Structures are given as structure tokens and as C-alpha cells.
Amino acid sequence: MAIPFEQLTSTTLRVRIAEKLREAILNGSLPEGERLVERKLASQFATSLTVVREALIELESEGFVVKKPNASTYVIKMTWDSAQKLFAVRNQLEAYAVEEAACLGTAAQMRHLEQLYVELLDAATAKDIQRFIRKDFSLHEAIWQMAGNEYLQAALRRAVLPIFSASAIRIASRRPFDLAQDAQLHLPLIDAIRNKDPRGARLALETAMQAWLAEVRTHMFSPNHEDHED
């Protein structure tokens, strides 16, 4: 008797291919800067170019891959120079976002933010680095949503996702940083937003941002910090 397997849709295939590629990136099978050839991937996965392209678009939206001007796709490779530039943009945009969140955030949004902070602490306690990074991004994204400006959210996702994705890739293969200490850096920011204190929120973010940039330098780059753009 033939087993009635569930027919896979193109959406299901896209999701599964994205998962496999994401896993390969995080475990180092696909190293930073590796070129991803669509036809080769389609052959390896025994699927169409369209499905592979859709999977790569999903990974690009998550910051794991980037498209270069020649239309080729590569696994993201963060350098110290590019990290500093992204943090400079992030600092300006997110400072405005936290001020707006402190002014405009609703009680329901605040409860959601506090729940995300609890989940961040749980990931820190479990020393689950990848879950910690995902929860960290979700927490920041929730703050951006509280600001009520979809254009600001889009700009911040573009600036911040590469940092979180590159962190997930590099930290997966290196010694972990102090997750609990990192989580605690969020508390003054959350308190300021809860207290409807936009100035306090900005100051808390700026203080935390300095510490986060230092963590990126220490845990993502070589001891001599000589990473530069190719």
C-alpha cells in the first residue's frame, strides 16, 4: 500500500530550504562571505530556481545573506568598520524610537515588552545564545512598534538585523559572552519607557549602546580588531 505523504507546496519547500541554509550558516558549514549559487542550490535541493530564490529572499530579510551589486548572494560577513557604521545609524534611529515609545506606548504594549524581557532573562539563565539573540531582537522590535512609525521600524530593521544575524553566526563558534549582564542592560530602558520618561529612555539606550558595541568588538572580531572592508 502506498503511504499517503503530504504534498509539499512551494511555500513549504521555501521554508525548509531556508531552515537548512540558516542551520548551515550558523554551524559554519556555509562560512561568512561564501557565495551562494542559486543553480547549484536548486540542484542540491532538487527544486526550482524560484523556490531557492524565495528562500534566499527570506534569509536576506533576516540579515543572514546579502545581495551584492552584481546580483550574487553571499553569506553576511560583518567587519569592524561596517559594525561601527551600523551602530552609528542605529544609535540615532533607536534613540528617537525609544523616546517615542516612552510617549506613545500603550499598557498592552508595555505588558508585551515586559513579557519579552522575562523570556530574554530565561534564555540568559539557560545560556541559550541563539534563543537569547532572537529574544533580544524581538524585544527591540517591540519597542520600535511602540513608537508607531512604520518607516522608522523599516529603517531600524535594515540597520539592526545584520548586527544580530552576524552576532548569531560568529558567537555560535566562539566563547559566549555574559548573557545575564547583557540582559540587565535592558532594564533601565524598559523602566524609563514604563515611566513615560523619554529623556531617561534615550540616556538608558545610549549607555547600553556603548556596552553593546564593546561586546560586539570583543566577541565578534579578532583580538587585534583589524577587520576591515575588503
User: So what's the pLDDT on residue 165?
Assistant: 87
Q: In what order do the strands lie in the sheet with 35-36?
A: 35-36, 73-75, 65-67
Distance between alpha carbon 56 and the CA centroid of its chain, in Å? 16
Alpha-carbon distance of 90 to 96, in angstroms, equals 10
Alpha-carbon distance of 20 to 93, in angstroms, equals 33
Label each residue of the chain as H, E or C. Answer: CCCCCCCCCHHHHHHHHHHHHHHHHHCCCCCCCCEECHHHHHHHHCCCHHHHHHHHHHHHHCCCEEECCCCCEEECCCCHHHHHHHHHHHHHHHHHHHHHHHHHCCHHHHHHHHHHHHHHHHHHHCCCHHHHHHHHHHHHHHHHHHCCCHHHHHHHHHHHHHHHHHHHHHHHCCCCCCHHHHHHCCHHHHHHHHCCCHHHHHHHHHHHHHHHHHHHHHHHCCCCCCCCCC
Q: pTM above 0.85?
A: no
Of 95, 104, 96, the closest CA to residue 148 belongs to 104
Residue 10: how many CB atoms within 10 A of its CB? 12
User: So what's the pLDDT on residue 225?
Assistant: 42
User: So what's the pLDDT on residue 63?
Assistant: 87
User: So what's the pLDDT on residue 172?
Assistant: 64
Residuewise pLDDT in 10s, the chain (230 residues): 444 534 456 678 899 999 999 888 887 788 889 999 999 999 999 999 999 999 999 999 888 999 887 778 999 988 899 999 999 999 999 999 999 999 999 999 999 999 999 999 999 999 888 889 889 999 999 999 999 999 999 999 988 988 888 888 877 666 567 889 999 999 999 999 999 999 999 999 999 999 999 888 887 775 544 444 44
